[in-house]
Amino acid sequence: MADIQSKTATTESISRGPIAMQLRDVAVSFHGRTAVRDCTFDIAKNQVTSLIGPSGSGKTTLLRALNRLHDLTPGAKVTGQILLDGVDIYRGNVTVTELRTRVGMVFQRPNPFPTMSIYDNAVSGLRFNGIKKKSLLDEAAESSLRSAALWDSVSSRLKVSASNLSGGEQQRLCIARALALDPEVLLMDEPTSALDPVATLRIEELMTSLKSRVTVVIVTHNMQQAARISDDCAFLLMGEDRAGELIEFDTTEKIFNNPVDSRTLDYTLGRFG
Amino acid sequence: MSDMTELNEPVEDGHLVRDEVRRISKSVHARRVATSRLMMVLCAVALLVAAVPLVMLIAELVKNGLPQLNKAFFTTEPQTPTLIAPNAAGGVSNAIVGSLALTVYASVLAIPLGILVGVYLAESESKLASILRVIAQTMAGAPSILMGLFAFSFIVHDLNIGFSALAGSFALAVLMMPVIIIATEIAVRNVPNSLREAGLALGARNHKVSLRIVLPTALSGIVTGTILAISRAVGETAPVLLVIGGGFINQWRPLDPVSSLPLSIFENAKSQWPAQRLQVWGAALVLVAFVFVLSLTARIWATRKQQVRN
């Protein structure tokens, strides 16, 4: 308990606006082996929160806990509390499918459905959830593709297979696909690590412009990226027992310029990791 | 100190290892080029040797088979030549109709079942799945006459249905099923997990992920495997030999005896009448053409699959 308080001490000082998600002493283990623990922080609404840290620090594991993607992994266990709008997503009155429509996800490698057209990809989430009305689908396709800055380049070829798009376009299509469900939170797992610098820049611009309509949580290996685009930043590090843990959470500005923990400073200065 | 000097010497000398690698590489270059040429020649010779019997077979098939192919060959039922009309062998329409019926019935029996079992094997980690997998793999390698014996004892004898298209298609279905199961399992397993996750992350339920994402993505692989299974079944003689009964008339009713192209070849090849023995080549050519078209279709599907991947 004392541990939790010491961690929340930093978070309380920066809780400025409304909160989208709250993490309370979250830990994830696989077959009894802890992969990440001690994660207590708040994800501010309509802000970009980045999770940074070296490989093995549990960033992706933590991110995947936020929309219960570990549910299908045998032996995976999530403890602590993750609250979405004040409701515990693991034990509260929310189904896993509903949760995933409210908390969308964009993966490391672009993964559009190869057998579907651009249009079908964009509206796939809506169709999976039983929406059939053509006018609604059309509208959602256009607005989500516009939000993902893809509409102008694909509006004339919506029926073309999504595999014909470039890597950067495919990733923006995956963002559009997630946005079509109008989620409250968008999780992004190193969304630009498979892209070239130009495509990366476009995705980064996109994230900033999306802030007004969705809360973004992004895992990134790229510290410049975290510094450029995120408002808040969580720094994780692998502990001595090889389990990742939260070292520090604060505004990005503070994490990069004036962190409390010396390990945070070492990492952001590129002294290790 | 002397140790240190020794160690340091090569470095001061320049690059001892690099120089040595270059010297060896130069000295063996000529030998490598010669070996490479020799291997190329050997490969070319092997290719020719392997191609000769194949080319001879196709040439013989076309030379003897093509003159047999005319309208009557496809449209009339066979007849037994007589001393007065030794060339009146009729056509093989009964065998074509029979082969088509057998293939269709066998496909109806084997394809849905095979695909479902294949999907189950790919998605399940259970003990039952691993047992089924071993059975499918064993069955895929089992001699095809075994399927005929089984169909004979089970359908013809035990169920007392008698010689029939059903018994033949049952034997062929048992033969096709392992091929379809294995192809489906591989195709479904090859669907990247990232696509399943993408579907789940959009709030799709498991069965929707399977039906709307996994199966369509695996479809080309499944279709390829299924077509190959069909083309194998079409040409099989042993499984149907014991159970379909044969006969000269065009008929496709499941409970009555039918003929098939391989059976007609088998029977006519033993005939005392040259006209019937010649007819065999025509039937063989039709069979090979059919299998060729099926394999070609399978290949086209397989390429489509690769394009989707890339």
Do B286 and B171 fall within a single domain? yes
How does residue B184 score in pLDDT terms, banded at 50, 70 and 90? very high
Q: Does A5 touch chain B (CB under 8 A)?
A: no
- B149 located within any domain: yes
Distances (CA, A) of A191 to A35, A93, B102, B180, B182: 22, 30, 53, 38, 35
- B81 located within any domain: no
Q: Is A54 helix (H, G, I), strand (E, B) or coil?
A: coil
- B82 located within any domain: no
How does residue B235 score in pLDDT terms, banded at 50, 70 and 90? confident
The stretch A21-30 carries a mean pLDDT of 95
Do B181 and B125 fall within a single domain? yes
The pLDDT assigned to B247 comes to: 80
Do B247 and B106 fall within a single domain? yes
Q: Test A100 with B202 for CB contact under 8 angstroms.
A: yes
Do B212 and B137 fall within a single domain? yes
CA distance B232 to B230: 5
Q: Please name which of A110, A76, A124, A114 lies closest in space to residue A194, comparing C-alpha atoms.
A: A110
Chain A: residue whose CA lies nearest to B211: A128
Q: What value of ipTM does the predicted structure carry? A: 0.87
Q: Please check whether residue B146 is in contact with residue B242, taking contact to mean a CB–CB distance below 8 angstroms.
A: no
Task: Give the structural domain span for B44.
Answer: 2-67
Asked if residue B199 has pLDDT above 50, the reply is yes
The stretch A116-135 carries a mean pLDDT of 94
Asked if residue A6 has pLDDT above 50, the reply is no
CA distance B13 to B10: 5
How does residue A160 score in pLDDT terms, banded at 50, 70 and 90? very high
Do B123 and B51 fall within a single domain? no
How does residue B229 score in pLDDT terms, banded at 50, 70 and 90? very high
Task: Among B14, B33, B67, give the residue marking a domain's end.
Answer: B67
Do B12 and B138 fall within a single domain? no
Measured in angstroms, the CA of A98 and the nearest CA of chain B are apart by 6
Measured in angstroms, the CA of A270 and the nearest CA of chain B are apart by 31
Residues of A in contact with B201 (CB under 8 A): 67, 69, 100, 104-105, 107, 178
Q: pLDDT tens for residues B117-136?
A: 999 999 888 899 999 999 99
Do B256 and B291 fall within a single domain? yes
Asked if residue A66 has pLDDT above 70, the reply is yes
The stretch B32-52 carries a mean pLDDT of 95
Residues of A in contact with B310 (CB under 8 A): 163
The pLDDT assigned to B11 comes to: 52
Chain B: residue whose CA lies nearest to A186: B201
The pLDDT assigned to B243 comes to: 86
In degrees, to the nearest 5, what angle opens at C-alpha A248 toward C-alphas A15 and A246? 110
Chain B: residue whose CA lies nearest to A67: B201
The structure tokens 């093989």 sit at B92
- pLDDT over 90, % of chain B: 42
The pLDDT assigned to A3 comes to: 44
The pLDDT assigned to B13 comes to: 63
Residues of B in contact with A107 (CB under 8 A): 194, 197-198, 201
The pLDDT assigned to A10 comes to: 45
- B79 located within any domain: no
A179 CA to centre of own chain? 13
Which domains does chain A possess?
2-109+184-268 (3.40.50.300)
Do B52 and B118 fall within a single domain? no
A113 CA to centre of own chain? 20
In this prediction the pTM is: 0.77
- B75 located within any domain: no
Asked if residue B272 has pLDDT above 90, the reply is no
Q: Test A128 with B219 for CB contact under 8 angstroms.
A: no
The pLDDT assigned to B61 comes to: 93
A236 CA to centre of own chain? 15
Lowest-confidence region among A253-267, B6-20, B211-225: B6-20
Environment class of residue B127 by beta-carbon count within 10 Å: exposed (0-12), middle (13-18) or buried (19+)? exposed
The pLDDT assigned to B2 comes to: 46
Q: What is the DSSP letter of B152?
A: I
Q: Does A60 touch chain B (CB under 8 A)?
A: no
The CATH number of the domain where B137 resides is what?
Answer: 1.10.3720.10
The pLDDT assigned to A12 comes to: 47
The sheet carrying A33-44 orders its strands as A87-88, A76-84, A19-30, A33-44, A244-251, A232-238, A48-52, A215-219, A185-189, A103-106
Do B47 and B103 fall within a single domain? no
Q: pLDDT tens for residues A231-264?
A: 999 999 998 888 999 999 999 999 999 999 999 9
Q: Please check whether residue A54 is in contact with residue A234, taking contact to mean a CB–CB distance below 8 angstroms.
A: no
Measured in angstroms, the CA of B232 and the nearest CA of chain A are apart by 29
Chain B: residue whose CA lies nearest to A177: B202
- B86 located within any domain: no
Asked if residue B1 has pLDDT above 80, the reply is no
Do B112 and B193 fall within a single domain? yes
Lowest-confidence region among A88-92, B222-226, B273-277: B273-277
CA dihedral of residues A195, A200, A202, A207 (deg, nearest 10)? 110
- B88 located within any domain: no
The H or E element containing residue B55 is helix B16-65
Q: Does A257 touch chain B (CB under 8 A)?
A: no
Distances (CA, A) of A153 to A46, A137, A143, A148, A170: 27, 19, 14, 11, 12
First to last CA, chain B: 60
How does residue A15 score in pLDDT terms, banded at 50, 70 and 90? low
Do B134 and B39 fall within a single domain? no
Do B7 and B143 fall within a single domain? no
Number of A/B CB contacts below 8 angstroms equals 75
Q: Does B219 touch chain A (CB under 8 A)?
A: yes
How does residue A96 score in pLDDT terms, banded at 50, 70 and 90? very high
Asked if residue A165 has pLDDT above 90, the reply is yes
Q: Please name which of A243, A246, A237, A247 lies closest in space to residue A29, comparing C-alpha atoms.
A: A243
The pLDDT assigned to B131 comes to: 93
Q: What's the number of CA atoms in the CB half-sphere (13 Å) around residue B240?
A: 34
The stretch A103-130 carries a mean pLDDT of 94
Tally of domains within chain B: 2
The stretch B89-105 carries a mean pLDDT of 88
Q: Does A183 touch chain B (CB under 8 A)?
A: no
Average predicted confidence (pLDDT) for chain B: 86
The pLDDT assigned to B305 comes to: 55
Chain B: residue whose CA lies nearest to A65: B201
Q: Is A215 helix (H, G, I), strand (E, B) or coil?
A: strand
